[in-house]
Homo-oligomer: A and B are copies of this chain.
């Protein structure tokens, strides 16, 4: 039973009498009374004797509460004259309700960069985590190697050599909490070795440009065409050729979907070798290649010039926050230094669970399942567009979890995006990925970036139907406008 106590001194403390721990209750009631302003600064509290009698509690209890609240700074005790509410510089501020609302999520989501989260292998992960937890030595739960635990670095070095052709000694593998942190580490390391700038593909995540800029590097834009990043710009353009680094997505350019051509791979490595630059290889979806074997990582061609980066965000889930770098020898100490200085470590149990999942074959199994699932979706997307919106060309589908839909001339990206939103479908235009400063006349024609990973299996067909309907809406409007023009 809750009731309010008023003492004979008229201080209504709203003390909940049902509390079994009288002292704790009294303490927090006084605290709250001061916080809320009911007891103002300078107010003299009843002596502990009087208060104890009023409340029918032991005098010692009240004395302890007063002592505690004096220690915490709520009260002051002036010797011989009693206990007072301490001066506070201001009235207690109300905590205003904040909202960081993102707009209500659209029902269907075909944005790129997300895997099907309903396919996360919960039981395999649970089993690996349980094994990790039951076998981890206590020391792994402390402060450990800033590169990550040797168990995971060894498992990854083996996996990456096998699956991606990466030449990774475990000593050069660094575990991080996703690509953003890895890029941050590399950018800071490059900055400390004197790189002034990094060339970034003219179409890419805006956030990545922000991360390298925050680390003190200038950015230059490498044009992108149907063969991937146009490496000739690295040698041909004065403002790019002396960049100390380049950030590339060789396996599947993000977001245009092009695969870096063999000739350009060699040119990139030759440029790095000649100038001493470092190529940062963002291998964000290299495992998901459909038409033949995965294209091996660029890193395998030149491990001393390429910093390789991968994550579990596509293969498992972004929410795990697990990524990795394979760092060239000459940057390794710098990367370690960056992580050490800012105390960057990744959860030990998560690391051991991933090591277990890889070693037990569960990780490969999940990749194979994913490859089948996403390949089916890619084929469904291509067939649906071919059948229902033949004016649209599907591009960049050799790999990955997204495609680029080239819109017919005269169609604006933003019109399709808006038409999709009206049908409760979230999809993005290509222009949003363009480096605003870096394109010149190399801007690509209007296109959508369609992620086919995001929906759960059961929702995929419905999402495609909405996409087709949105494309048809725009097509109709365009034909209507043309008819009107002719009529005038």
Residues in chain A within 8 A of chain B (CB atoms):
24, 27-28, 31, 35, 64, 67-68, 70-76, 86-90, 93, 95-100, 114, 117-118, 120, 122, 125-126, 129-130, 133-134, 138-145, 147, 165, 167, 169, 171-172, 177-181, 184, 207, 210-211, 214, 259, 262-263, 265-266, 269-270, 273-274, 292-293, 295-296, 298, 300-304, 317-322, 329, 332, 336, 341-350, 456
Contact = CB atoms under 8 A, between A and B. Distances in A.
Interface centre among A89, A145, A318 (most CB of B within 10 A): A89
Given A24-B293, A114-B142, 20 more contacts: A27-B293, A68-B293, A73-B262, A73-B301, A88-B301, A88-B302, A89-B273, A90-B273, A90-B304, A93-B304, A99-B171, A117-B138, A141-B317, A142-B318, A177-B344, A177-B346, A177-B347, A211-B343, A319-B348, A321-B345
A347 B344 contact: no
Specify how many copies of this chain sit in the oligomer: 2
The 5 closest A-B pairs by CB, nearest first: A180-B343, A319-B348, A73-B265, A141-B319, A89-B273
Given A73-B265, A126-B133, A181-B342, A332 B98 contact: yes
Contacts of A144: 319
Contacts of A97: 169, 171
Contacts of A177: 177, 344-347
Given A295-B71, A342-B211, A347-B347, A141 B165 contact: no
A320 B141 contact: yes
B266 A73 contact: yes
A58 B364 CA distance: 27
Contacts of A86: 262, 266
A252 B111 CA distance: 49
Nearest to A27: B293
Contacts of A75: 262
Contacts of A28: 165
A468 B157 CA distance: 46
Contact of A100 (B122, B140, B171, B349): B171
16 contacts: A24-B293, A71-B259, A71-B292, A73-B265, A89-B273, A95-B169, A98-B172, A100-B147, A117-B138, A120-B138, A122-B133, A138-B456, A177-B346, A214-B342, A319-B345, A321-B348
A317 to B, nearest CB: 4
A71 B266 CA distance: 11
B120 A141 contact: yes
A169 B100 CA distance: 13
A147 B75 CA distance: 34
A71 to B, nearest CB: 5
Contacts of A207: 341, 343
A144 to B, nearest CB: 7
A296 B86 CA distance: 15
Contact of A266 (B64, B87, B171): B87
Contacts of A345: 177-178, 318-319, 321
Contacts of A300: 31, 35, 72
Contacts of A270: 87, 89
